[in-house]
Structure 1
Amino acid sequence: MPPIAVALIAATPALAQDTEIQFALDWRFEGPAAPYFLAIDNGHFAAEGLSVEVTAGEGSLDAIPKVASGAFPMGFADINSLIRFLDQNPGAPVTAVMMVYDSPPFAIVGRVSQGISGIEDLEGSILGAPPPDGAWAQFPILAAVNDIDVSTMTIEEVGFPTREPMLAEGNVDAVTGFNFSSYLSLARLGVPEEDITTIMFSDHGVALYGNAIIANTNFAAENPEAVTGALRAIARGWSDAIADPAAGAAAVIDRNPAGDVDLETRRLQLAIDGNVLTDYVVENGMGTIDPERMATALDQLRLTYEFQNEPDASLYFTDAYLPEAEVLMIAPQ
């Protein structure tokens, strides 16, 4: 090879390689997963030099160990589950880096025709609750802060597949669940929507936060720009989903052709309205937490969980990787 050719090859810079991130969802490909797919489809991850693959999950207790192990650098999980995980596994390399569900999806969904119009109607009712359900796990907090006499209630243990059918058939008066899931499942079973009551825990004194973006702390320490870039892309994905929920649902259906685009559009909109675009987020932007509220939330968690170690919010959440504030400001449409 002539010397000039060698010189030209040596002077040619190597092409930069995208940082690959495996992202662990907490659940299936449904409406609330749309922002992560929009961040892919609309080029937000690519603009940050990231190649992201989103993987479905089987709950927060599935997503958290995936990220803690390092198999998945980042993921999406319930912060209350993360708090318990870190209490039981001190020093595990995982933390929340961006709050998404400023209001958790924990809810009681009941029927007006079964006597449930509001939280005051729960005493004396029959409540269907799947033992592994996240809302059921936090129900004692709701009962405590609202002085609900649980001894007057009948708690019916139900499975996830039978929860809404039992309510639709009138075998229970209400069920614990997520606001964007149980409501739609009940409506799809033919229950008129005017007969459905949704009691959000967050509307009744429960200070808990919901799902957050989590990161492996070893990966974050070694790749801080990649984590901040991913959060920037995710925030833009949420902006896209809020601006056009139908496009978000279509992105989900591209990955889950068996789904229903209209159903997932509604599910996404319920998550936006009930969990993401709270007054706090509209005023302060997505991603941050209020320290006083978090302190109250930790105190409330003591009602349902006996900490092995003194709880410390800094162990569970950091804002060190959040992007610039203007990216996090998301206006309602």
Structure 2
Amino acid sequence: MDVPMGETTARGDLLPVRFILNTFYSGPQAWFFLADDRGYFRDEGLEVSFTEGNSLARAVKTLATGPYDAGYGDLNELVRMRAAGATETPVAVMAIHRRAPYTIAVDAAGGIRGPQDLRGKRLISHDQDAALLLFPEFCKATGLDPDAVHITISGLSHKVMVPQMLGGEWDGIFGFVNTVAAQAIEAGVDPSTALRHLEWDHHAPAFYGGAMMVTQAFRAAHPKAVAGLCRAVNRGLADTITDVDAAIDAVARRNPQIDRKANRARLIGTLGLEMRDPSGDGIGPADPDRLCEIARLIAEAKGYDNQPAPDEVFDASFLPAAAERAVNSRYPQ
């Protein structure tokens, strides 16, 4: 049976779970595929079919409106949707990114060293890039006037944008730190020396990043399956932290065309930046105080009247016990 790129099929009498990803198969999703290959979903009575998405932020809306049961989306976008008045939204059940991955990447040799240096500059972004969507909040947190920045929307890849920016066509690029870095590698650029990052983590540290989510209907109908999904992904995360190369092998089995070097760098960078765990609490929980601060920043920056409560966007009841959670101590930033 032929399976379209980015999609697998359910087999047997296991409970099918339709899962929308944030983007094409790539290194920073490897734990999902490693969990699948090692039978962790089947151990929980689940058959998970993955479909490729087209952005971390857009995955939330797709999960809210499309034919999916679960997904990997931007926790901040979920808060924004609730703040905007949406009620038929998914609910996050595992915060995989402990910190926001968002950045504006600039030329390390240039004069942009802080947010205020962006005044009058030219930035480029994809239309649904999560960093772009949270730029008003970045400006609110840093005192930058968003109208003082010129933004061009483009469908070009970061692999193309990075050399253009270094050549002077743009002053900065919206994106994820490790995505920009990996595509710089693919373009033959050393991101460690060529790029400087204005990171949300430094200027608006309340924000989270990617989270595993389920629809409200799936949570109500299959609570045991939601807990099983969290357990299986937790096992995949622990294995990925232990063996990055096995995790990249799992990605390559689904997308043989990937640049393994760049995607390995993306995965290690994601583990070291977005998923570092200095507290030792393990991957998965979300701090209610941070969720309240995210709601406040979004409501103020976007002019919303509503500030959703933490339990409107995050349900921690399905997480594995604290002692069983994957802990990332191997890849500090």
Unaligned runs of 5+ in 1: 1-15
* Structure 1 residue 134, shift from structure 2 partner: 1.5
CA distance in 2, matches of 1:205, 1:62: 21
1:144 and 2:140 are equivalent in the alignment: yes
* Structure 1 residue 195, shift from structure 2 partner: 1.9
What amino acid does structure 2 have at the position aligned with 1:183?
A
Question: Residue 85 of structure 1 corresponds to which residue in structure 2?
Answer: 81
CA distance in 2, matches of 1:93, 1:154: 32
What amino acid does structure 1 have at the position aligned with 2:100?
P
What amino acid does structure 2 have at the position aligned with 1:144?
K
Greater Cα offset, 47-56 or 36-45: 47-56
**Cα displacement string for residues 155-206 of structure 1 (whole angstroms, at most 9, x for unaligned residues):** 4444443533421322122211111111222233233331211222112234
Among 176, 181, 184, the residue aligned to 1:183: 181
Question: Residue 34 of structure 1 corresponds to which residue in structure 2?
Answer: 30
What does residue range 108-147 of structure 1 map to in structure 2 within 5 Å?
108-119=104-115, 121-123=117-119, 125-147=121-143
Question: Residue 232 of structure 1 corresponds to which residue in structure 2?
Answer: 231
Question: Residue 296 of structure 1 corresponds to which residue in structure 2?
Answer: 293
Question: Residue 255 of structure 1 corresponds to which residue in structure 2?
Answer: 254
Question: Residue 192 of structure 1 corresponds to which residue in structure 2?
Answer: 190
Say if 1:187 and 1:17 are closer, same or farther in 2 by CA, change over 3 A.
closer
Q: Secondary structure at the match of 1:276?
A: coil
What does residue range 1-333 of structure 1 map to in structure 2 within 5 Å?
17-60=13-56, 62-69=58-65, 71-88=67-84, 90-92=86-88, 94-119=90-115, 121-123=117-119, 125-150=121-146, 153-161=149-157, 162-193=160-191, 194-279=193-278, 282-307=279-304, 309-333=306-330
CA distance in 2, matches of 1:222, 1:132: 31
Q: Secondary structure at the match of 1:275?
A: coil
CA distance in 1, matches of 2:108, 2:86: 45
Say if 1:45 and 1:285 are closer, same or farther in 2 by CA, change over 3 A.
same
**Cα displacement string for residues 95-151 of structure 1 (whole angstroms, at most 9, x for unaligned residues):** 111111111211111112222345464345433334432112212222232233556
TM-score normalised according to structure 1 size: 0.86
Structure with larger Rg: 1
CA distance in 2, matches of 1:93, 1:176: 26
Q: Contact 2:108/2:195 (CA < 8 Å) preserved in 1?
A: yes
What amino acid does structure 2 have at the position aligned with 1:323?
P
CA distance in 2, matches of 1:307, 1:149: 19
Q: Contact 1:207/1:300 (CA < 8 Å) preserved in 2?
A: no
* Structure 1 residue 256, shift from structure 2 partner: 0.5
Q: Secondary structure at the match of 1:314?
A: helix
Say if 1:152 and 1:222 are closer, same or farther in 2 by CA, change over 3 A.
closer
CA distance in 2, matches of 1:86, 1:166: 37
TM-score normalised according to structure 2 size: 0.86
Give the number of aligned pairs: 316
Question: Residue 10 of structure 1 corresponds to which residue in structure 2?
Answer: none
Q: Secondary structure at the match of 2:105?
A: strand
Say if 1:71 and 1:292 are closer, same or farther in 2 by CA, change over 3 A.
same
What amino acid does structure 1 have at the position aligned with 2:194?
D
CA distance in 2, matches of 1:126, 1:135: 15
What amino acid does structure 2 have at the position aligned with 1:326?
A
**Cα displacement string for residues 227-281 of structure 1 (whole angstroms, at most 9, x for unaligned residues):** 11110110111111111222211111110111121111111111111111243xx
**Cα displacement string for residues 18-51 of structure 1 (whole angstroms, at most 9, x for unaligned residues):** 2221211111101111000000112211222222
* Structure 1 residue 296, shift from structure 2 partner: 1.1
Greater Cα offset, 220-229 or 59-68: 59-68
Identity of aligned residues (%): 28
Q: Contact 1:97/1:213 (CA < 8 Å) preserved in 2?
A: yes
What amino acid does structure 1 have at the position aligned with 2:172?
A
Question: Residue 6 of structure 1 corresponds to which residue in structure 2?
Answer: none
Q: Contact 2:292/2:308 (CA < 8 Å) preserved in 1?
A: no
Q: Aligned Cα RMSD in Å?
A: 2.4
Unaligned runs of 5+ in 2: 1-11
**Cα displacement string for residues 66-106 of structure 1 (whole angstroms, at most 9, x for unaligned residues):** 43357221111111222233445643162111111111211
